[in-house]
């Protein structure tokens, strides 16, 4: 299992960030090396990435000054510059909108499913997602237990140095993300998605997220992503965010599935070109078949995340040995969450190879 870092006892954001930086310094260094390579492959030098990230600082401060203090703490604790830590937290915004285009031969990303109470086992909502990325970044993953200003406790599976990624809070609200690329990504500073995820993990429900996105529209979003959500009340939704705004994808027959292209009519016209090897549409079709099962719970969602029916472009993605190692994508981890019982299960490798273990 990934290492766990529990900072949920510390309400001071700078002190909490400093403790994070000290405890995860080696993993943060690994993250920095990974993204220096990825940015470089896109023609973005590291100093250029840091300058681009710096433009987002004022937006993060407008959202929540505590998060800026926490980022300062992570930088100081890890011995890195604030610009470097910002670059990690803005990595989606720094990567160009063309990142999932045909010139990126092995790029692929996550598949997610949210199940409403009406379709879920035990009458509960459920959340499931595979996170696909470069396999080397598995060594930088950690389970971060943290807390917000109001005392809400948050557990998130994230990349070291980042504020959050896939997570659950003590109110029984869970979220994740799928990368989506729009033509306007990175054109102007807006909310970085990984900062947004941490902010939304303070929400108590899907309805609260809907309200927050309305309130945040004036700040704008720096790049595009889908945020799948589920809560202990039994509600689920996917919220697509983009520089052009946001839109909600509601469940059909109790489920909502998402891969890596816009599904909401309001944002679909802004979709950036993607290559056939991204497999977004085929994976969506495979996910929809799993979503059609009569009842969906832990066993069914584990089977969904282990689906290898589409070869190297499957929901459960093994690394293709014919692709150069530096750009070889795979499922870094799988995660299933029951918001009602506040339980999280993680497969810390390609899910077909390892067990899902409960996070305690």
**What is the pLDDT, as a whole number, of residue 328?**
81
> How far is residue 297's CA from residue 21's CA, in Å, rounded to a whole number?
36
- 34 Cβ contact list (under 8 Å, min separation 6): 134, 136, 137, 140
- 104 Cβ contact list (under 8 Å, min separation 6): 98, 275, 327
3-state secondary structure of 79: coil
Integer angstrom CA distances of residue 13 from 63, 193, 194: 15, 19, 17
Question: Sign (positive/negative) of CA torsion 25, 26, 29, 34?
Answer: negative
Q: What pTM was computed for the model?
A: 0.96
Pick the residue with more confidence: 8 or 97? 8
> How far is residue 261's CA from residue 2's CA, in Å, rounded to a whole number?
29
Give the single-character DSSP code of 317: P
pLDDT band at 214 (very low <50, low <70, confident <90, very high): very high
* Residues above pLDDT 90, as percent of the chain: 89
The predicted-structure confidence for 312-356, as pLDDT tens digits, reads as follows: 889 999 998 887 776 688 999 999 999 999 999 999 999 999 999
What is the average pLDDT value for the chain, to the nearest integer? 94
3-state secondary structure of 126: strand
Q: Does domain 4-9+96-358 have CATH number 3.60.60.10?
A: yes
Pick the residue with more confidence: 327 or 86? 86
> How far is residue 200's CA from residue 209's CA, in Å, rounded to a whole number?
6
In order, the DSSP letters of 233-283 are TS-EEEEEEETTEEEEE--BTTEEEE-SS--STTTGGGBPP--GGG-HHHH
CA angle 207, 283, 253 (to 5 degrees): 45
Token pair in block for residue 251:
């469940």
């Amino acid at each position: 299992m990934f290492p766990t870092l529990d900072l949920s006892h510390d309400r001071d954001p700078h002190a909490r960030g400093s403790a994070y930086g000290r405890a995860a310094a080696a993993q943060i260094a690994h993250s920095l090396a990974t993204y220096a390579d990825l940015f470089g492959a896109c023609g973005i030098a590291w100093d250029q990435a840091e300058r681009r990230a710096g433009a987002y600082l004022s937006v993060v401060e407008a959202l929540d000054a505590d998060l800026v203090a926490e980022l300062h703490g992570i930088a100081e604790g890890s011995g890195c510059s604030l610009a470097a830590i910002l670059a990690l937290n803005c990595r989606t915004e720094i990567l160009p909108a063309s990142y999932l285009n045909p010139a990126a031969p092995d790029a692929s990303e996550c598949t997610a499913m949210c199940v409403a109470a009406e379709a879920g086992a035990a009458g509960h909502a459920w959340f499931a997602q595979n996170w696909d990325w470069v396999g080397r970044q598995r060594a930088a993953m950690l389970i971060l237990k943290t807390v917000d200003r109001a005392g809400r406790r948050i557990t998130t599976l994230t990349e070291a140095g980042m504020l959050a990624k896939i997570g659950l809070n003590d109110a029984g609200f869970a979220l994740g993300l799928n990368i989506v690329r729009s033509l306007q990504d990175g054109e102007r500073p807006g909310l970085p998605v990984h900062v947004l995820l941490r902010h939304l993990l303070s929400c108590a429900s899907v309805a609260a997220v809907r309200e927050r996105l309305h309130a945040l529209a004036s700040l704008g979003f720096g790049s595009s992503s889908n945020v799948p959500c589920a809560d202990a009340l039994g509600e689920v939704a996917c919220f697509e965010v983009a520089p052009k705004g946001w839109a909600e994808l509601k469940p059909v027959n109790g489920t909502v599935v998402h891969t890596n292209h816009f599904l909401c009519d309001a944002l679909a016209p802004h979709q950036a070109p993607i290559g056939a090897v991204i497999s977004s549409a085929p994976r969506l079709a495979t996910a929809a078949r799993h979503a059609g099962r009569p009842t969906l719970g832990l066993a069914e969602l584990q089977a969904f995340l282990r689906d290898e029916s589409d070869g190297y472009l499957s929901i459960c993605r093994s690394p293709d040995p014919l692709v150069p190692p530096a750009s070889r994508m795979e499922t870094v981890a799988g995660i299933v969450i029951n918001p009602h019982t506040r339980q999280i299960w993680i497969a810390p490798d390609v899910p077909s190879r390892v067990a899902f273990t409960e996070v305690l």
